[in-house]
């Protein structure tokens, strides 16, 4: 997860109808989130749902509140449901700085940590852990496929980073930079690969994303 940005213009169907999922809402969210799920950062094809940051079960008054609406993939939306309501709010938090996000290939796990000891940070860590590593001891099939997809994408990124570390040529730099564009997937994890390899200065212009 990374910080998100949302257009300040409230889609008109939120003001003139009792729906929260009008076409104008979906279109604006797709644009604001660069067509990605705000939790797992995968590209959204036709599988997307409007996600209430604070669930409509526990916060019915926020059902049509523009700042409470995000797009999530079906996998994340179903898993989040009304758990994790007290979570890190992506519009005012640099989530990529505050939650360390890594794939631990040797343990076949994703790991998430934070040094900030409050409920929203702890909940964000707990939520990501459940999404990537499963609820039970073993992942169920959907969880396994979700994790494998993440692993494959990070493997491809790591190959490019390693190529750049071995031969820091402009061509190799371009390949890494392209992977860090706001349009790309897995940015929260990629951010920590960049930091772990002391490449923040090198790619400082690429890893700004929504921080301004």
Buried b / exposed e along 16-32 (16+ C-beta atoms within 10 A): eeeebebeebbebbeeb
Provide, rounded to whole angstroms, the least separation between the CB of residue 89 and Zn ion.
Answer: 17
The residue among 40 and 124 lying less far from Zn ion, judged by its C-beta, is 40
The residue among 73 and 161 lying less far from Zn ion, judged by its C-beta, is 73
Q: Where are the alpha helices (DSSP H) in the chain?
A: 13-16, 23-32, 74-80, 95-98, 119-133, 141-166, 170-179, 187-196
The 10 Å Cβ neighbour count of residue 145 is 12
Provide, rounded to whole angstroms, the least separation between the CB of residue 93 and Zn ion.
Answer: 18
The residue among 69 and 73 lying less far from Zn ion, judged by its C-beta, is 73
Provide, rounded to whole angstroms, the least separation between the CB of residue 8 and Zn ion.
Answer: 25
Provide, rounded to whole angstroms, the least separation between the CB of residue 139 and Zn ion.
Answer: 16
The residue among 173 and 210 lying less far from Zn ion, judged by its C-beta, is 210
Q: Which residues bind Zn ion (CB under 5 A)?
A: 37, 39-40, 73, 76
């Amino acid at each position: 997860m990374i910080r998100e940005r949302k257009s300040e213009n409230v889609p008109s169907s939120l003001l003139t109808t009792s729906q929260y999922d009008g076409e104008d809402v979906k279109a604006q969210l797709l644009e604001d989130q660069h067509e990605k799920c705000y939790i797992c950062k995968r590209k959204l094809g036709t599988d997307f749902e409007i996600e209430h940051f604070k669930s409509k079960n526990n916060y019915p008054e926020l059902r049509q509140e523009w700042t409470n609406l995000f797009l999530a993939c079906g996998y994340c939306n179903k898993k989040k449901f009304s758990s994790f309501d007290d979570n890190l709010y992506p519009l005012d938090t640099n989530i990529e700085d505050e939650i360390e996000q890594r794939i631990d290939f040797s343990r076949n796990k994703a790991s998430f940590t934070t040094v900030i000891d409050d409920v929203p940070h702890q909940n964000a860590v707990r939520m990501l852990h459940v999404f990537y590593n499963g609820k039970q001891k073993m992942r169920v099939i959907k969880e396994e496929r979700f994790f494998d997809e993440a692993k494959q994408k990070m493997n491809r990124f790591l190959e490019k980073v390693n190529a750049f570390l071995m031969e820091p040529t402009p061509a190799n730099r371009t390949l890494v930079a392209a992977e860090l564009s706001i349009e790309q997937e897995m940015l929260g994890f990629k951010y920590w690969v960049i930091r772990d390899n002391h490449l923040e200065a090198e790619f400082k212009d690429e890893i700004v994303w929504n921080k301004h």
